[in-house]
Each structure stands twice: as C-alpha cells, then as structure tokens.
Structure 1
C-alpha cells in the first residue's frame, strides 16, 4: 500500500496509524503540539531542540520533558529539518512539523506506505541521525523551558530607537522590586535576550520580577516607583520569562532618563498615581510620556 496524503488535515488522517502502532521511531525537526504524536514507552524521537529552535518557539521543551518522563527517548539534532515517522507497520515521510500550524492551517503533504524496504531504510536514517545527536535528559529539557518563554520569538538583534511603542496599549505604575536570586536557566535566558538589544542606540534591557499571575504582554509600559528616589521613566515590556511560578519582565530602558519626585509627576498629571492599576487612556499615557519628553 502506498498513499499520498495532502491538505491541512494530514495529521488527523495519519493519527489512526500512529495510535494503533506498537512502536514509533520519529525524526521531526519541530514539535509544539502535544496532540499530534501519541508517544509513550519505548518510542524514540529526534528533534531540533537547539537553543535557537527553543527561543524561536519552534520546539516546546515542556512537551519534550513530558515525553522523557514517560520513558520516551528524545534526541536533539540542531541541523535536523526532516519529517519522518516509522512504525511497526508503516512509514510516513512528508513536509509537516508536529505543530499547531501544521494541524490547523498549513497545506502539507505526506507519503504513507507499508513497503518494508522503505520502512527499513527510513529506520536506518533515523538511527544515523540519533547516533549523531545528543540525547536529552529531563533536567536539560527543564532548563530549556524558560528559554521557550522568551518573547518576541525572534532572537536576532533588533534595533530599537525608542522605548515608546506604537500604538500605545496600556501603562502601569509598579513598585520597584528587590532583586532576588535568579535560577541559572533564567539567567541564561536573560543573557540571550540582552544580546538582541545590543544593536539599539543608547537603550538597554533591565529586568523586573513581577507576580506570576500579573498579565503583562509585549508593548505594555511600566513606570517603576522606587522608595526614596521617585518615579522612573516609562519602560517598554519586550521580553517575558516564566519559570516555576515566577515571572520576569525584560524592560527596554533609556538609562539617560532620570527619576522624578512622585509629587511633581502627580501635579503634572492632575490625577493620583495608583500602583498596580492599568491605565488604558492614550491621552493619559501620552501625558506621562510627555513628562519625560517622550
């Protein structure tokens, strides 16, 4: 049997073959959708779990960790781009990553066959990729999780010329937090993020730990209130890192902008300065920015 499957629903058509198989050997570069590959036990998968793939959102380390803890052998090959599945009865070779886009949006194609020679040669190829790869441990996969949470997804250097996003979304006054110990995996993610700001004129990246349940997103603005110092100039959220119930904001900052007394800013605005409350009015946000000539 040999069948060419195409369209935006190839995973739903391949799934019965995957579910009924006794064993699955897989080489798929990028995996983010848990429902696509029903891996368990002695199954094996080769993926691209490089830091570039993780930070870019192409491979989800939390999914890899779940598989590893269930007994699946996970290997990482940074140059992998193949999409190949071998079961005890079939081989599937095609274009689709195990991603949400591939299951819902993209037009993909796959060749499904029960030819024993194709199965054998495909399995040999996966063996070669696995032997040239590094097998991931649970600890290594867990350390990669905060890197996946970095946003924006591109880690290429970005030239920011202003801390002011367009359009304006919302702004919040927050207390300047005391810096606590940072896990090594988070520190590594922060260093990777800081490299993407290195191309910007004057601007730097500062980090602020907030409550995990606080809802921040890219483009939001933050003004830190520091006791005994005053109110610091607005900073733009450009990165968010989450790790084990903790959350850090990467804030695009102009270090040349000084803090001002809270009372002076309140007189300028003509309204109270309330902590931890979102300001949505563009005119109100504009007045705050104007205080620092932004």
Structure 2
C-alpha cells in the first residue's frame, strides 16, 4: 500500500463482489483461488500493473487449484481484509507519498509530485457550488482527516466534485475549474478517488480532489490572452470540455509554472 503497488480501491472492489481477501506481510506472490480457477502471477491489484510488463497464469487444473488453496491456508500472520483494514490502507494511500518495499517497484510520490506524470487527461469545468448532504460531509471530513496525517498540510488540501450522474472523470484526471461567472480560472485539481455513489441522491457521485493552496486563481480574460499568445486562440475556457491537445494541456499548466 505504501509503495502504491496495491490499490485499496481494487481490494474494496473485490470485497464488494463477495471475494474473501487476505493479507500477509511476508507474501510477495500474487495468487487467487476460485472454485474453478487458480491465478498465479506478478500483477498487483493496481493501475501500475496495467502499465508494467506483468504476467499471470490462469489455469483450471484441479491439482494446481488445490495446491494454491493449500499454499494460502499454510500462510502465517494472515489478516482478513475488511473495512477496518481498508480504512488504514486508504489513509496510507492518500498521504501522497510512498516508501519502497523489497521486490516491489512502486510509484514513489515525493512532496513535489503534485500532478500525474505525464498529464494525459484534463478537463475544463465550471465550478458549481452546492451544499453537501450530511452523509457527504461525514465522508469528506473523514477523508480530510486522513490527508492531515503528515505531509505539507498548508500546501495541499482536499476538495470534492459532485456529479449528478457518473461521467468520464476518473482517478488521476486533472481538472481546471472556471468560476460560475466566467471571471476566474482556478489552478489545477487532481482527482484522487474513484467515483463514490452519494446515498439517496438519485444517482449522484462524488470524487475527491487534491489542490495546492499556494497557487492563485487567475483572471479568465488574462489567462485566455496568455494562451492566445502561446498559440492557442481557441482555448474555449468558457466552455466545459475535455482538453484533447497535449500542447494546450501543457500551456494551461504553464500558467501556474507547473
């Protein structure tokens, strides 16, 4: 978890599907056993493993399935992954940094690493003020408490984005918000969570965002002029859209010298 080699969101997905998940501090192998299959390989339950050259073997051989189950049952210091375990895992994951673990090439996030590298997905969206429900406030306050454990608290803060229905926004996306009156361009925010359904909301979802408190909002007109000078006269800052152009993404980040 600390090395960002295994995602607590992935473990939560398994638990929600009824999978029994176990953790062992000395275990390096990745093994899954079902009633009909055994999965053995190097891939972690993480986004990193979708980018790395990991490999797994999936077999329906009854002897191998039995051997995998026997291997799992013989492990010592087993911890059942439950909600309490996940709460601690999420706290470690969301600190925004990681420590290397032997044999694991994790994603190391130093303090200065605010944006994903590279930034491949960016949106321009108008900021919408809303009053969070009591449930949303409870979850948001709990998440803020997790972020407050270590790290540059005066530099980073946790915000939220509510969407009335699930959209294309996902973890790792960068969002540049525009004020509702089209007067201000706010500094980039990074999506740090998957979509979480808001209870009794009719399908609304909530994302958490990480922002930097040391970056100022810019007058929208000035920002548009600066982008025009950089070769982007059609920056469309007054329209919500997905920023497809890599050079425009770089120019937008450059407004804050990022």
TM-score (norm 2): 0.56
Match of 2:225 among 267, 273, 286: 267
**Number of equivalent positions:** 185
Q: Is this contact kept in 2: 1:155–1:196, CA < 8 A?
A: no
Contact in 2 for aligned 1:231/1:262 (Cα 8 Å): yes
For the Cα contact (< 8 Å) 2:128–2:180, is it kept in 1?
no
Matched, 1:180 2:111: no
The CA deviation at 1:257 is: 1.2
State the match for 1:239 in structure 2.
Answer: 193
Kept in 2, the 8 Å contact 1:197–1:205? The answer is: no
Alpha-carbon separation, structure 1, partners of 2:136 and 2:127? 23
Per the alignment, residue 213 of structure 1 pairs with 166
Question: Structure 1 length normalisation: TM-score?
Answer: 0.50
Distance 1:97 1:274 in 2: 52
Per-residue deviation at 1:183? 5.5
Looking at structure 1, the residues matched to 122 and 193 of structure 2 have their Cα atoms a distance apart, in angstroms, of 16
Structure 1: any 5+ residue segments left out of the alignment? 1-52, 68-75, 82-94, 113-121, 123-132, 134-140
Residues 237 and 96 (structure 1), Cα distance of their counterparts in 2 relative to 1, 3 Å cut: closer
Q: Which of these residues, 226, 249, 262, is aligned with residue 179 of structure 2?
A: 226
Identify if the C-alpha distance between structure 1 residues 281 and 154 changes in structure 2 by more than 3 Å, giving closer, same or farther. Answer: farther
RMSD of aligned alpha carbons: 4.2
Higher Rg: 1
In structure 2, the CA distance between the partners of 1:247 and 1:153, relative to structure 1 (3 Å rule), is: farther
**What is the CA deviation profile of residues 97-123 of structure 1, one whole-angstrom value per residue up to 9, with x for unaligned ones?**
559x955845764269xxxxxxxxx9x
Displacement, 1:161?
2.1
Q: Which secondary structure does the structure 2 equivalent of 1:195 belong to?
A: helix
Q: Secondary structure at the match of 1:172?
A: strand
Label 1:56 to 1:218 Cα distance change in 2 as closer, same or farther (>3 A). closer
